[in-house]
Structure 1
Amino acid sequence: MTVQLPDLVPSELRRRWKAQGVYPGRPLFDLFRERAREHPEAIAVVEPSSTTSYAELLRAATALAAELSRRGVRRGDVVAVNLANGWRALAADLALAATGAVCLPYPLGRRRQDTMAILGRSRAVAALITRTVGDQDYARTVDDLRADLPELRHVYVDGRPLPGMRALEPVWHSPAPDADRLLRASPDPDSAVRIIVSSGTEAAPKLVAYSHNALAAGRGRLLRNLHADDEEPLRLLCMVPLASAFGSVGLAALCVLGATVLVTPRFSSAATLRMVAGQHPTHLVGVPTMYQEILTDPALPNTDVSSLRCVVSGGAHLQPETAARLRRDLCATVATVYGSADGANSHTRPDDPAEVVDTTAGRPDPSIVDLRIVDANGADVPPGHTGEIWARGPITPLCYVNDPDLNRRYRAPGGWVRTGDLGAMAPDGRLRLTGRKKDIVIRAGLNISPAEVELHVSSHPEVAGAVCRGVPDTLLGERLAVFVAPMPGAEPLTLTALQRFLLTERGLERAKLPEILHVLPKFPFGPSGKVDRGQLDALVRVTGSSVPRKDDAA
């Protein structure tokens, strides 16, 4: 069943961006096919044990597109993709772009409830899945749900299929003599090509639909801004899942820049450092917790990092101390990206001074998106004042999928997206982030920004990373808990010592001090590669918490 995906951005704005040349005006598969014909033997994808050329990736994508077309997958149909990082995931993206279907990739690790929400709300007609993910027989999970998913007609499995499913591997290598006939007409570049699954703050995953033009223009321009040297080919090591919002730069790197994308099936600092030493990427893309693991990996001092030009961090605030160590130990510039699946973006540039990278999210690029800072009534606030970030521009998605309530709550008149993020725009046009509306902790009537406290805690010399969460409290409403990952070999950190540091060394207000401390060997990652804050909340619920007496505090 073809899902309806209306464009909530005024059509005159889309036409203006086309007329300005911001939009390529061509579908993603056409852009990729052009790159493949220009340089068929160039390497498109590098994995730990294999490489895939542009010509090989084109053949695999064409074979899958022909197979799905023969099975009745049509333009506008949604096809879910749950594959590990690698050429297969990218070929699936390209195949669906070729047919005019809508690719719905989501990172490995989703369980039954999220899977049902994703497949059910999208009305996916087919799914390409991995047989086993960790301890989960994922094919069995999907099979158990099929009775409640009447639209799901076809399931292809990377691995041994269950009865009623098909093996995916033979499809990649099957001849497609009818491909030209099946794929004769290119899809409308303003139509949906990808649904991004948000790992945000809603109870169920948000599904956000993007057009060919929005993905190519937004992600493509971001990559051009981060890769200023046209003489040196871009070699992008994507540590986050290609199926995530941040990981969608991988597809844009192929289609828009003709780059080489390097991946490992799942992130580990050891695998990443082996790729850096052996495959010589120019850029890394990851989240702060990944970089913290890399910086503490004992193999780093003996790893050749000379190919690196820029380390790109997004998904959460990069602490200045971490950024300084990245510059020193990876010998590369650092760029930070603020973005979301909902269509917000601002980023620093490789030539920005360290102070700008460490304290701001850079200047929004209007060829990607414009940002406004607004008050509770949707009115613009003066420069330097904090408010909610609203976003609108060429990157803006079409809509939330089959969810009128989300479209009502997160989309504003004129095509603006209410991000739910808080920030302030400095007089020089640079964005400073202060947190999320839903993350604000209200303790005895005082609003506490977890992001602010995380910044101070992470400056402690024995702390590798910190995450703050609100804990319900019958007396005060909420109390602030902090989860800390220590530096290797650090002395055990106590709550009293941390509070004393925050008061005396950082000047934090006493009312904003964390009252609960959990020290973890490492943070748990969610499917998107970011810290799984839900697991941290569950840890507090299971273990409980003890609030120190007044005379225990610093």
Structure 2
Amino acid sequence: MGERRTIGQYLRAHARDQGDAEALVFEGESISYALLDRRASQVANGLRAMAMPTGSRVAYLGKNSAAYFEIWMGAIRAGMVMTPVNWRLAPPEIAYILADCRPALLVVDPELAARLDPAPSCPVLLTEAASDGDLYADWRDSQSEADPHHDGGYEDVALQLYTSGTTGNPNGAMLTNRSLLGLRDNVSQDALPGWFVWSSRDVALVAMPIFHISGSGWGLWALQHGAKAVVVREFDPHRVLDLLVEHRITKLMIVPTALRIMCDHPRAAQTDFSFLETICYGGSMIPLDLLQQAITIFGCGFAQMYGMTETAGTIAGLAPEDHDVRGNDRMASIGRALPGVDIRILDADGHVLPAGEVGEVAIRSPSNMAGYFGRPDSTAQTIDADGWLRTGDAARMDADGYVYLADRIKDMIITGGENVYPAEVEKAIISHPLVADVAVIGVPDSKWGEAVKAIVVPTQGAEPQPSEIIAWARKRIAAYKAPKSVDFQSDLPRNPSGKVLRRVLRDQYR
């Protein structure tokens, strides 16, 4: 069993034991663990001087940076909670989150300050110098370096991430030290799958946005283990390829769409990536052609990670050994639960379903959130008294524990008494060579109750016919699942996190 240290205790230990080792690298600046520890204390003392209550939120509206991790570590040391805000949001959405979390301090990139409408009531610091405004670094460096030792406990909230809000206003998921660290603290290192194991020799690239758990969590895993985290302001394939080689990155977390952009970069095929050990991906399954291309270029192990904001990220995974360059059935799954995680597939009444039947995924894990900030009713609807978190994902589980996602429960289509999951239909259609993107919804139908409709974005210059899309799908899935109609659009509505807003599409046809 691992030692149950808090995030703050991990940082202190690394500063003591390997203070000269690099903790963060960002745009030419290298920050050692000793320096990160001192800066965390400075931030903490500055926050405590504001005389705000323990548990107050500290908001960050900016792109990825080393400063974000300094502020987060300092907020923890002050007994406060880091709350990054999605910088892609519109001003009213940003205003909603700031009004909801009521931060004691907001740190913002200067180019994003114009989105603060109305202006927040808390003090505001700028990450970089601008014509107007106080600079975060000046404020930090004016504080004492003495450690205030005002950390919270293992069950106290350390990070608050806002959910995507596909059906309404986002909720603030409260993640404790247990949520963020518990999967490794509750099992021995030997029990963890190899792709999930970290050490101080690892070098991780933090390329996913820090307002997602894939960004903040990935960076934290590096800091937890005394590893080196190379932070990228935002994803750029040319810059990422440079950093992979320059820092000999061993671990990379990326979404498949970004991986394809990297693979298609003209420099990728001519670069030696033998130092890279594991590419972890999430958000969607990896297409076989992309896996084949990526293995040829990078030659490392690939692991799919499944999780959500409310589970502090990854709670299940498909290991490298389950990936086959020729393809296999298990590559259609998200893998199996990590040690210490329980997964059940439940029916509408909460009964456990047998292997092979589709129901809702429920998770009981040390990494589950403490709840939604200020939303006890929503929390109770999501996590029951026994600690089972209802994900809203529909899936089946096979006899070996591999979980195969179907779709979101709320997006399920009932046509002629049969359940159809849009993701399954989309997977069949997206393989068509003239289809660039697709979303599937149910539309009212006098005969079937609901009929399956596909909204297709053609590849550039292509003009596919609805009949050929329908015929293509019918060859790959059951006829009742195939679309009854196909419409074409130039793009699909998405939220700031990139998820297709099927709700918006349904509204267009209702």
Q: TM-score, normalised by structure 1?
A: 0.81
Distance 1:478 1:207, change over 3 A: farther
Of stretches 259-268 and 416-425 in structure 1, the one that deviates more from structure 2 is: 259-268
Distance 1:209 1:356, change over 3 A: farther
On the 8 A contact 1:237/1:281 being kept in 2, the answer is: yes
Alignment match, 1:374: 346
Distance 1:54 1:231, change over 3 A: closer
Q: 2:125 aligns with which of 127, 142, 156?
A: 156
Alignment match, 1:144: 118
Alignment match, 1:275: 243
Of stretches 374-383 and 217-226 in structure 1, the one that deviates more from structure 2 is: 217-226
Structure 2: where are the runs of 5+ without partners? none
Alignment match, 1:346: 316
* SS of residue in 2 equivalent to 1:128: strand
AA matched with 1:399: G
Alignment match, 2:424: 452
1:118-267 superposed matches below 5 A? 118-132=97-111, 138-142=112-116, 144-146=118-120, 152-160=121-129, 166-177=134-145, 179-180=146-147, 183-218=148-183, 225=193, 227=195, 233-267=201-235
The answer to whether 1:365 aligns with 2:365 is: no
Tell me by how many angstroms 1:166 deviates: 3.3
On the 8 A contact 2:15/2:33 being kept in 1, the answer is: yes
Output the aligned Cα RMSD: 3.1
AA matched with 1:142: L
Tell me by how many angstroms 1:422 deviates: 0.9
1:304-323 superposed matches below 5 A? 304-323=272-291
Q: How many angstroms apart in 2 are the aligned matches of 1:519 and 1:159?
A: 40
On the 8 A contact 2:195/2:303 being kept in 1, the answer is: no
AA matched with 1:67: G
AA matched with 2:229: V
AA matched with 1:348: L
Alignment match, 1:64: 43
Q: Paired residues, what number? A: 499
Alignment match, 2:4: 25
* SS of residue in 1 equivalent to 2:386: helix
AA matched with 1:512: A
Tell me by how many angstroms 1:442 deviates: 4.2
Distance 1:274 1:500, change over 3 A: farther
AA matched with 1:430: Y
Of stretches 347-356 and 264-273 in structure 1, the one that deviates more from structure 2 is: 347-356
Distance 1:233 1:221, change over 3 A: farther
* SS of residue in 2 equivalent to 1:382: coil
Tell me by how many angstroms 1:357 deviates: 5.5
Q: Kindly, what percent of the aligned residue pairs are identical?
A: 23
On the 8 A contact 1:319/1:455 being kept in 2, the answer is: no
* SS of residue in 2 equivalent to 1:170: helix
Structure 1: where are the runs of 5+ without partners? 1-20, 133-137, 147-151, 546-554
Q: How many angstroms apart in 2 are the aligned matches of 1:162 and 1:445?
A: 63
* SS of residue in 1 equivalent to 2:223: helix
Distance 1:457 1:322, change over 3 A: farther
Q: TM-score, normalised by structure 2?
A: 0.87
The answer to whether 1:54 aligns with 2:28 is: no
Q: How many angstroms apart in 2 are the aligned matches of 1:229 and 1:26?
A: 17
Q: How many angstroms apart in 1 are the aligned matches of 2:266 and 2:468?
A: 28
AA matched with 1:139: A
Distance 1:167 1:143, change over 3 A: farther
Q: Deviations over 1:135-193 (max 9, x none)?
A: xxx324325243xxxxx432222245797x6321313433515x33xx13432121111
Distance 1:227 1:477, change over 3 A: closer
Q: Which has the higher contact order (CA 8 A, sep 6+)?
A: 1
Q: How many angstroms apart in 1 are the aligned matches of 2:293 and 2:194?
A: 20
Alignment match, 1:15: none
* SS of residue in 2 equivalent to 1:389: strand
On the 8 A contact 1:292/1:322 being kept in 2, the answer is: yes
